[in-house]
Amino acid sequence: MSSTVNNSNRTVEVCFSPALIQLHDVTSSIVVVIDVLRATSSMCVAFANGVRSVVPVATVEESEAYRAKGFLVGAERNGEMIDGFDLGNSPFSYMDPRVKDKDIALSTTNGTQAIAAAKDAYMLVAGSFLNLDILCEWLLTQDKNVLLLCSGWKNSFNLEDTLFAGAVAEKLLPHFELNRMRDAVLASVHLYGLAKNDLNTFLEQSSHRKRLEKLHISKDIEYCLTLNQAPVIPVLVDGVLVKLTA
Ligand code: 3SL
């Protein structure tokens, strides 16, 4: 990876919901789409396990339509895998050897919608705690503004994506500037500072954690909150996510 860019006026911003995306200029930014629980975590795991591509699609029907083209198809709504699909949204299902070298079409409740909302980005990558360090190292080498887009839950704020935005912003801030939209960055960094010693406990009362616990998938939560287990960067190229190569 090339070295950190210094002496640049690049900025870092945080957008708490895809519903607020129109407040930001995505065309001049690298947009990091964040859905820690669990879409962008699963995408990182997929590429770390040899998946060739992931087509993020908005609807379950669109995902199903890719089956005829030889894709594995994935669909999740409200935390649950939809019956009849090959994959849901658990990071563990993307560790299965059958995903290696495969193309996957995936539709999720929020993550793939956030990707659609930011599709005009200068560049779009997926972030999660599982690729935190490699993502930040790469962002530091890019002479470009960075927008951290939290997928949230159905356009509402959520804590887990905000914490990840704070983790990235904390690493970027010594080298990036804050612009007029600085409060969202400051809030994210402060929250991450409170949470970082024990993300799991900090999120105990959070809504999506409660939602996933009801579905008995606490192990997914714990895994998605561990750092750097899937050190790859998914990048959107012509509407398809692939693994970024140096
Ligand atoms: O909203 C999404 O895209 C999903 O990550 C939600 S879930 O974790 O699969 O419930």
Instruction: Compute, in angstroms, the gap from residue 89 CA to the centroid of ligand 1.
Output: 7
Which domains are delineated in the chain? 12-237 (3.90.1560.10)
Ligand 1, atom nearest to 90 Cα? 9
Q: Which of 66, 56, 63, 53 is nearest to 101 (CA)?
A: 53
Q: Which of 34, 45, 108 for mutating ligand 1's site (highest number of atoms within 8 Å of CB)?
A: 108
CB 154 within 8 A of CB 20: no
The whole-angstrom separation of Cα 149 and Cα 142 is 18
Per-residue pLDDT of the chain (246 residues; tens, 9 = 90+): 556 776 579 999 999 999 999 999 999 999 999 999 999 999 999 999 999 999 999 999 999 999 999 999 999 999 999 999 999 999 999 999 999 999 999 999 999 999 999 999 999 999 999 999 999 999 999 999 999 999 999 999 999 999 999 999 999 999 999 988 899 999 999 999 999 999 999 999 999 888 988 888 889 999 999 999 999 999 999 999 999 997
Ligand 1, atom nearest to 89 Cα? 9
